[in-house]
Chain A
Amino acid sequence: MSKRLVAIVLVVLMVAGLISGCSGKPVTQENNQTPEERTLKLRVSDSVPSLDWEQSTSLRAVKVWHQMFEGLYGMDEAKGGYYKELAKDVSLSDDQLEYTITLQDGVKFQNGEDLKASDVVFSYKRAMKNPRFNYVTSMIEDVAEIDDSTVKVTLKTPFSAIDHTFFSIKIVSEKEVLEQGDKFGTIPHKAGTGPYYVTEYNVATNIKLSAFEDYWRGAPAVKKVEYRVISDDAAAIIAFENNELDYLEDAPLTDWEALLSASGDNNSLTKGNDVLFLGVNYLSPTNNNILANDKVRQAIFYAVNKKDMNSAACNGYGVETPYYMPPEYVATSPKDGFETYEYNKDKAKQLLAEAGYPDGVDVGTILTYGANTGDKAKMAQVLQANLADVGITAEVSVMDSAVVLPRLYDQDYDICIYADSNNFDFNNIRQMVHSESVGMYIVKYKDGPFNWKRLEELVDLGVSTSDIEERVGYYTELWSIVMDSATLLPCLSKPVPTVWASDLEIGTPVPSFYKIRTFSWK
């Protein structure tokens, strides 16, 4: 018996020794390091596919690239609008077709080379060849070097939303890109002018950045940065609570209360630029083209209880919205003057009766994508219940985005819950309403029963002038036509929950493009 007891005690000691011996000390012990030694640790929820900013438009990757690359313009989300970044002076010709841009003085790439106009031309021409960026480059006729510090951007037609192009296209060092050749993007480089450059890149696990000491605005205060791939939300929360992460954005809302207590005062819940909305395909053949009936679509819209959706999808932290883009972030976004379909169950029932379905009707399937427990799936379930309340029946189908999105772009659905993000100029609505945006829109307006010709005309008029009020006027009429069609209904602006370490100073929290160069250790 005593032998057995000794054996058991030894096994217990061995396991305890294994666990504690591997660690020996707490896993997080960086707080006593100097600011120069400390590494700022952030989470990315999935791999960043490349170090070349041209290889994706995913916001997750773009946020990382924004620490390394800069454009001619920057974006100030805290105050709204764009500001000159690598551009020092910008002048526009009388015919509004030629932008002459003088570059900032003393800007160096991370490889030590001076920024020259030829690098800007190289970067723009490279982006113009990339179909991924067609939405921000299709209006450019040519980009030419005037002298070492001046470039001329010529447009095909006047295009007042060009600021977003100047922001979106990042400037790279021609020399660095050509030297790395096909490997550019797959290995660390110093091709940007931004405050950080990559020192280590492992697509599966992490990206390490170091401060660029010759950064033209001055060396950043935080010297080392590491992005770590943590796909699971629960693991990310534990990592933050365990001080293994210093900055956690898009924190899971389900655990927001726990994060609040872990972060003290260092948290923010910013209104995001992602909008979740409902789409109805009036071309669907389901139930003898039931969705082609205007009154049925309107009944669906009036039946939507956005408050319930907010509770289910965003734990009540989202913002119910009638806007396709939040006016706080998009100056050209219409604020009023269009139908908003406030929740009205009686009106929905009345419209349904007027449509000839007083006893209710089946409208097919509510299609959405993402996780079964994700925000869109939850919204779909709430919508199903809302519709049932007024006598409309629908199934819910949640599948992978790779399956659902092509179906939406092919108008192969009845009703969908969809998210749109990263819109900073109302001109982006072109992708949703213009007939040239085949493969991008989820509702096909061309040849439909709506005033689609006027819609397209308004899209063009919207970029023909730089007068903000005039643009808002055009877009108000445009959005009014869309809302009257009862095909797209914005539902929620998603919140951006962010928490950060107690000894980190981040300035004003912003929803998308935080700048680590403005961070500092307390």
Chain B
Amino acid sequence: MYRYIIKRILFLIPTVLGVVLIIYFVMNITPGDPARAMLGSSAPQADIDKLNHELGYDLPFIQKYINYIYNMIVKQDFGISYFTKQSVFAEIWPRYVVTIKLALMGVVLSSIIGIPLGIYAAVKQYSLWDTVPSIFAFLIAAVPSFVLGMILLFIFSLKLNLLPSYGISSFSCYIMPALTISIPPAAMNLRFTKSSMLESIRQDFVRTARAKGAPENIVIWKHALKNAMLPIITNIGLNLGMLIAGAVVAEKLFSIPGIGSLIVDRITYKDEPVIIAGTILIAICFTIVMLLVDVIYAYIDPRIKAKYAKMKG
């Protein structure tokens, strides 16, 4: 198992190199240059060319790529933002923490809401406890996040004046953004859990457990749910990964200074150091989340654990 984890961590290296290469390639083929974005339309072309040269922007694509990798690995230097002249890492890290915090809240909320409702809907199939949440989940899944965000803003900020409409100055600022990003995944969790549980509770081992006289709680929570957890965990892991990069809608709507909105904003300024470093952090985080999902698999599913044990043996 440890060998597998180390192997997966080592896999981060080609992932990061690949991400940087792709970003450099994309930035290279799009028109525009950072000097023009920095100096504006009033600066003469000669000065634009000079600044691009100083920034190393006129170097061949592959040379820029190698330089970046060298600075990143040898000097641990992610560069200076073209836009703010501040250290890229100093600028990105606080935003990254904010996004992680928001994404975790989103995932926890979506799990707390979606999974129990999904279990209950499966257990009470064809009852109102199944029909109402299922229809609601279908509806919610079709509503874009920003619409949900607007509705929350309207109710809790404008009408009730209970929650601040923007910023991160207090914990209460996170409630609406977290709900905005968690409700659509909660609907997905509900549907995944329900279908997975329905499959599980029809299995022979569940029938056997009931026949042996196990209480219904134990049958559902211990036998059925444990076996239904694999696709649910995969879904949660994917949700977390997606929210780290994809909370940008909530970040924009609620003016949350997160990593997604930062990258989107800086694309306009061709602020390559920030865009690349931000994307690297997201890629690393996504890979780690997927690794955690795999590790959790092994603890839940004895077959996977046995497979790793066999490999070790």
Contacts and interface: CB of A to CB of B under 8 A. Distances in A.
A402 B50 CA distance: 19
Given A203-B86, A228-B167, A231-B255, A438 B175 contact: no
A27 B161 CA distance: 6
Interface in B161-178: 161-168, 170-172, 175
B195 interface: no
Given A229-B257, A230-B255, A401-B268, A205 B167 contact: yes
Contact of B270 (A202, A204, A402): A402
A185 B162 contact: no
Interface in A386-401: 400-401
Contact of B163 (A27, A206, A407): A27
Contacts of A58: 40
A160 B252 CA distance: 45
Interface string A9-32: 000000000111011001110000
Interface in B124-163: 150, 153-154, 156-158, 161-163
Contacts of B171: 22
B39 interface: yes
A400 B269 CA distance: 10
A22 B165 contact: no
A24 to B, nearest CB: 9
A238 B31 contact: no
Contact of B255 (A228, A406, A440): A228
Contacts of B253: 232, 234-235
Contact of A186 (B51, B84, B156): B84
A50 B91 CA distance: 13
A357 interface: no
A32 to B, nearest CB: 15
B36 interface: yes
Chain A: interface residue count, which band? 35 or more
B159 to A, nearest CB: 9
Nearest to A55: B85
Interface string B23-51: 00000001111001111111111011011
B94 interface: yes
A416 to B, nearest CB: 13
B255 A49 contact: no
A27 B162 contact: yes
Nearest to B116: A11
B165 A238 contact: yes
Contact of B267 (A18, A50, A57, A402): A402
A26 B41 CA distance: 45
A204 B158 contact: no
Given A49-B84, A204-B95, A400-B267, A439 B44 contact: yes
A23 B41 contact: no
A450 interface: no
B271 to A, nearest CB: 10
Contacts of B196: none
Contacts of A440: 41-44
B261 interface: yes
Nearest to B162: A23
A229 B42 CA distance: 26
B255 A400 contact: no
Interface string A218-258: 00000000001111101100110110100000000000000
Interface in B72-120: 83-86, 91, 94-95
B175 A19 contact: yes
Contacts of A284: none
Contact of A23 (B30, B51, B172): B172
A186 B166 CA distance: 24
A20 B162 contact: yes
B36 A56 contact: no
A460 interface: no
A27 B169 CA distance: 12
A431 B165 contact: no
Given A22-B171, A402-B268, A438 B45 contact: yes
Interface stretch (A75-83, A111-119, A128-136, A348-356): A128-136
B43 A131 contact: yes
B254 A235 contact: yes
A131 B165 contact: no
A431 to B, nearest CB: 7
Contacts of A57: 40, 42
A150 to B, nearest CB: 30
Q: Which has the most chain A C-beta neighbours within 10 Å: B86, B168, B267?
A: B86
Contacts of A437: 44
B86 A232 contact: no
Contacts of B36: 405-406, 409, 439
A244 B165 contact: yes
Contacts of B33: 406
B166 A235 contact: yes
B122 interface: no
Given A204-B257, A231-B252, A234-B150, A402 B269 contact: yes
Nearest to A186: B86
B265 interface: yes
A134 B157 CA distance: 46
Contacts of A135: 42
Interface of A: 18-20, 22-23, 26-28, 46-47, 49-50, 55-58, 131-135, 185-186, 202-206, 228-232, 234-235, 238-239, 241-242, 244, 400-403, 405-407, 409, 431, 436-440
Q: Which 3 A-B pairs have the closest CB atoms?
A: A131-B47, A204-B257, A439-B45
Given A46-B265, A232-B253, A405-B41, 12 more contacts: A18-B175, A19-B175, A49-B83, A132-B42, A202-B257, A204-B95, A234-B253, A402-B31, A402-B37, A403-B30, A431-B41, A439-B44
6 contacts: A132-B39, A132-B42, A204-B257, A205-B255, A406-B36, A438-B44
Interface of B: 30-33, 36-45, 47-48, 50-51, 83-86, 91, 94-95, 150, 153-154, 156-158, 161-168, 170-172, 175, 252-255, 257, 261-262, 265, 267-270
